Amino acid sequence: MKTRYTYGGDEHIYVEMDDEMSLDAFFKSLSMSNAVRAANIDGVTEICPANASFQVRFDPDVIAPADMLARVKELESKAETAEKRMTTRIIEIPVFYQDPWTHDCVMRFRERHQDPSGTDLDYAARINGYDSAEAFIEAHHSQPWFVSMVGFVAGLPFLYQLVEREKQLEVPKYLSPRTDTPKQTVGYGGCFSCVYSVRGAGGYQMFGITPMPIYDPEEKLNYLKDFMVFFKPGDIVKWKPIDRAEYDAILKQVEENTYVPRIAEVDFDLEAFNADMAGTNAKLMEALNDA
């Protein structure tokens, strides 16, 4: 892992913990952005953690860019020794794979795709060595995912699968981004899954849709009353495949504001996970049984 510091114009420090994705890079980036927050440096206006990097926005009228850079660098050693464990929550998110709405969108933007003759799922399955879309879908939801970044648009989570590197699914982004994506589409780009929180442009492959809103600017949904954005970095997600009937049933509950996501509190320890991924994941998913 090699940390790289640069300026983003005269108002940002950009720190890349590593140029490739790993949970180690994520934890270091999170620890370091927490350390910057805790240091309470005059002039810092925003701290944005990402998958394997983070960014500090500051007011150069309060602190000179070179001084700001030096202050951030000083905190790297602190982040290196930080514990790589957290108390967090595991959330079950229902997914209707191969649904008619994202399928319609998949077909509308075929000319921007690597393989215009098939669907995003057929393509993703093939390039990842699965003999059917169904087998690929099984790989997508059988093991849990880790929210390693929130952003792009309001409340969109980037998710990284908790499996060995050789089992990670990887797909390219669309050749040219789409101008439309249905709200709550479950997408995939690079090694990241995502849920499009709102309707809009997007470049990730489209696999399905969840009936569960994850962004509510009016803060009316019972589970988004406290804050309009559902996800935060460190959340763990277990996709639950559902069919059309269940999709419709959940949607009705959402409309009546009676839908409550299944959530359990769990501890995640990176060292324990690295030592025994299958065992750690089984324990994480078990917690949902009591939720």
Partner 1 sequence: MTLKIKNPGLATSIQDLGRPGYFHLGIPMGGAMDRFALRCANMLVGNPEDAACLEAVFMGPEIEFTQDAVVAVTGAHLPPKVDAEPRDCWTSFEVKKGQTLSFEFLKAGARAYIAVSGGIDTPPALGSRSTYPIGALGGVEGRAIAAGDDLPIGAGKGKAGRSVPETLRRGPATPAALRVLPGLYWDRLTEKAQNAFFDDDWKVAPEADRMGYRFRGGRKLEFVEREQPFGAGADPSNIVDGCYSYGSIQVPGGTEPIVLHRDAVSGGGYFTLGAIISADMDLIGQLQPHTPVKFMRVDMDGAAAARKARKDMLAEVRAALS
Binding of partner 1 by 65 (CB under 8 A): yes
- Token couple for 165: 């590197």
E strand or H helix that includes residue 210:
none
Q: CA-to-CA distance for 10 and 45, rounded, in angstroms?
A: 13
* Subset of residues 150 to 169 that bind partner 1, contact rule: CB under 8 A: 150-156, 158, 160, 165, 168
What torsion, rounded to 10 degrees, do the Cα atoms 247, 251, 254, 260 define?
A: -10
Q: CA-to-CA distance for 156 and 150, rounded, in angstroms?
A: 5
> Are the C-beta atoms of residues 21 and 190 closer than 8 Å to each other?
yes
Binding of partner 1 by 182 (CB under 8 A): no
Binding of partner 1 by 102 (CB under 8 A): no
* Subset of residues 191 to 220 that bind partner 1, contact rule: CB under 8 A: 191-192, 197-198, 200, 203, 215, 217
Residue 150's nearest CA partner among 205, 90, 230 is: 230
Alpha-carbon dihedral sign for residues 217, 94, 145, 190? negative
Binding of partner 1 by 221 (CB under 8 A): no
Residue with Cβ nearer partner 1 (228 or 291): 228
> Are the C-beta atoms of residues 240 and 94 closer than 8 Å to each other?
yes
How many residues touch partner 1 under the rule CB under 8 A: the total is 60
In the complex, the smallest distance separating the C-beta of residue 143 from partner 1, rounded to whole angstroms, is: 17
* Subset of residues 11 to 30 that bind partner 1, contact rule: CB under 8 A: 11-12, 14, 16, 18-22
The bridge status of strand 145-150 relative to strand 185-189 is unpaired
Binding of partner 1 by 283 (CB under 8 A): no
Which residue in the set 89, 173, 240, 283 belongs to the binding site for partner 1 (CB under 8 A)? 173
Binding of partner 1 by 48 (CB under 8 A): yes
Q: Which residues bind partner 1 (CB under 8 A)?
A: 6-12, 14, 16, 18-22, 45-55, 57, 60-61, 64-66, 149-156, 158, 160, 165, 168, 170, 172-173, 175-177, 189-192, 197-198, 200, 203, 215, 217, 229
